[in-house]
Copies of this chain bind each other. A is one copy, B any other.
Amino acid sequence: MESDAQLLNAVAIVLRKLREERNFSQEYLAAEADLSRSMIDKIERRKRLPSLPVLIKIAGAFGMSASELVKRIEIDLNK
């Protein structure tokens, strides 16, 4: 099953890293991405996996493309 746990982990780590690099609060990021803070929080705590539209929104909030964001997740997955 290639373990969703690993994926949850990678997404959480990448998201938090990007957010902290930019000194974004969860609330600010949520507003920029047009998401609830609850969602950001849950992704970072590995309680939820973002859907494709959410990935795109988050990538947009970070000023990058969704494929770039996914690439970072894949890189983290292979560690």
Binding site for B on A (CB under 8 A): 1-2, 4, 7, 11, 34, 49-53, 55-57, 65-68, 70-71, 73-74
Q: How many copies does the complex hold?
A: 2
| Bound CA span A52–B74, Å | 11
Instruction: Enumerate chain B residues within 8 angstroms of A4, measured Cβ to Cβ.
Output: 53
Q: Are A7 and B65 in contact (CB under 8 A)?
A: no
Given A51-B49, A51-B51 in contact, is the A67-B71 Cβ separation under 8 Å? yes
Give the distance to chain B from A51, nearest Cβ to Cβ, in Å.
6
Instruction: Enumerate chain B residues within 8 angstroms of A7, measured Cβ to Cβ.
Output: 52-53, 56
Q: Are B52 and A55 in contact (CB under 8 A)?
A: yes
Most chain B CB neighbours (cut-off 10 Å) among A11, A53, A57: A53
